[in-house]
Amino acid sequence: MNRRHFLMSSAAVPVAAPLLAAPDTRARLGLVRSTHAKLRQPAPLDDGLTYEQVRDMVHSAIRYGAPQAGSLEKKIKPGSWVVIKPNIVFLRPARGYAPGDITDFRVTRAVLEYVATHSQAARITIAEGGTYRNHKDKAEDNVVTQDGRRVNAYDFDWGPDEFPGFNGSVGSMLKEMSRLHPGKRFDFVDLSYDAVRGPDGKFQRIVVPKASNGIGAFGGRADYFVTNTITKCDFLISVPVMKVHLQCGITASLKNYVGTAPRQAYATPGLFHNANLHSEHSAGERIDPFIVDLAAFHPPDFCVVDGIRGLQAQEHSAHRADQTVRSNLVFATEDPVAADAMAARLLGFNPYDIEHLHMAARRGMGTLELSRIDHRGDEPDRSTRKWEKPRQWYGRCNREWTLSAGSAPPRAHSAPYDTLDLPAATGVAPSNGTSYRAAVNVQSQGHHNGYLWLGLRGRLTARVNGETVATTESQTRYRTGQFQFPVALRPGMNRVEFDVQPLAGQAKLSVLLTNSRNDGDSIDGIRWVKA
């Protein structure tokens, strides 16, 4: 994929979709591979790298991806409390752990070193909450021991081999920084135990703050347990590992916020993961809504994404030797949506398929359009590859509709989720002879052959540009993509129409146009437009 195709594959079609960022917004993103010519010691993309090489990559990416203030250090105000949030979900040798599952500690250390050396921050904190209990927790499940003693992320010793050049623990790293920078305070916060509490000492729920454009919560429940550290710090740097996720497609800067939810408040007895976060706040059968809701309490002020090693197929160990993928790259930006759009493309996804990126863009957190990113450093197209996706993966279905039922006039409707409940959306109850009509336009940059994926409850006829492409019915278990039909799109505007008659009192529909590989990814270069 060359640079033009890389950018155009996710460029907005001007007449086809509203811009998901302010007109004058252009994110700057610095991307550095280990082969970058200006590094002190360039190395092949399959090299294990030393700490000095990783530090050079990270610091170069930070400088290339400088925020609007001019540099990261200028954006951090003197005396600030800076929080660095890596992903340390597991400790070795947990069954779910595999190399590439957590942020490379050399990347975390390099970010810490940069902030400590170049900024006037007064306090610098490493903060994370993982699937392991700390020393003060009286529960005996999900406990990690090392050399006969109970440990957590702060004092777990990683040894010299997992991350060459990093030898020790988070605690030893912070102590070293304290010696080198005696005028600054360095500490660690276990976010699992940092929940905001009310005057009565009980965990306190807080409603998602509204963005300046009025957008509030997306999740199934709008009030969350959150942590003191995330809500009260002055400056937050998200330092995730870039990898594939089983449910939401990718994990990067925004998905990193799931580790900010206090497990002490969301865990169920005998387990130490955010089970109740998933059950209470998921919506539309997706976890994406609560990812963005958690980020809304303090969106990232800067992002440094670890692309040295990651996991394909899913976010934790699938117990396969080929699951860990090495890319030897790092990128940085102050725009978390741009960061994750870039991560999606580098992982081989269509950024427009990632639900939480749409939600974050709607909140004004950044731009989803790769064509609106000012790339510095290495060209991103040289790092693009196809990572293995989850077996049940499918992209974001159409949400923009023109609907009618019976004799009612057509009207525009924006569906909040993938599935369109036609009786609810039209306000017309299903009865004998009821027919629902749903239409949408598809703007295409060229000729495309692909597949029409349908989730259906009812009896359906589908047409593309007036030609019938599908007739089918279903009153069995509903699921997205249960029916798949080949289709052809022409350049420009294509009209897609559906007639649905209810069966057993139900009429549901979901629609996705996948590429010629029929792998669940949307066709690159198309945009849905209300008919």
Terminal Cα-to-Cα distance of the chain (whole angstroms): 32
Residue 61's pLDDT is 98
Give a three-class secondary structure readout of 200-265: CCCECEEECCCCCCCCCCCCCCCEEECEHHHHHCCEEEEECECEEECCCEEECCCHHHHHHCCHHH
C-alpha–C-alpha distance, residues 119 and 78, integer Å: 7
The pair of three-digit structure tokens given for residue 443, joined into one six-digit string: 């703007």
SS3 519: coil
Both tokens of residue 369?
């359009």
- CATH classification code of 400-530: 2.60.120
- Token digits for 362? 């709607």
The residue assigned the tokens 């069995």 is 476
Reply yes or no: is the peptide bond before residue 502 cis, omega within 30 of 0.
Answer: no
Please state the φ and ψ torsions of residue 29, each to the nearest 5 degrees.
-135, 125
pLDDT in tens, the chain (531 residues): 444 344 444 444 333 333 344 445 689 999 999 999 999 999 999 999 999 999 999 999 999 999 999 999 999 999 999 999 999 999 999 999 999 999 999 999 999 999 999 999 999 999 999 999 998 898 989 999 999 999 999 999 999 999 999 999 999 999 999 999 999 999 999 999 999 999 999 999 999 999 999 999 999 999 999 999 999 999 999 999 999 999 999 999 999 999 999 999 999 998 899 999 999 999 999 999 999 999 999 999 999 999 999 999 999 999 999 999 999 999 999 999 999 999 999 999 999 999 999 999 999 999 999 999 999 999 998 656 789 999 999 999 999 999 999 888 899 999 999 999 999 999 999 987 889 999 999 999 999 999 999 999 999 999 999 999 999 999 888 999 999 999 999 999 999 999 999 999 999 999 999 999 999 999 999 999 988
d(CA 290, CA 299): 13
Q: How far apart are CA 344 and CA 336, in angstroms?
A: 12
In sequence order, the 6+-apart residues with CB closer than 8 A to the CB of 75 are 67, 69, 235, 301, 302, 334
Q: Are residues 413 and 497 in contact, defined by beta-carbon separation less than 8 angstroms?
A: no
Specify the pTM: 0.94
Which is it for strands 467-474 and 448-464: parallel, antiparallel or unpaired?
Answer: antiparallel
Residue 207 CA to residue 195 CA, distance in Å, equals 14
Q: What is the pLDDT of residue 385?
A: 73
* Residue 120: other Cβ atoms inside 10 A: 14
Give the domain ranges of the chain.
3-12+26-345+361-383, 400-530
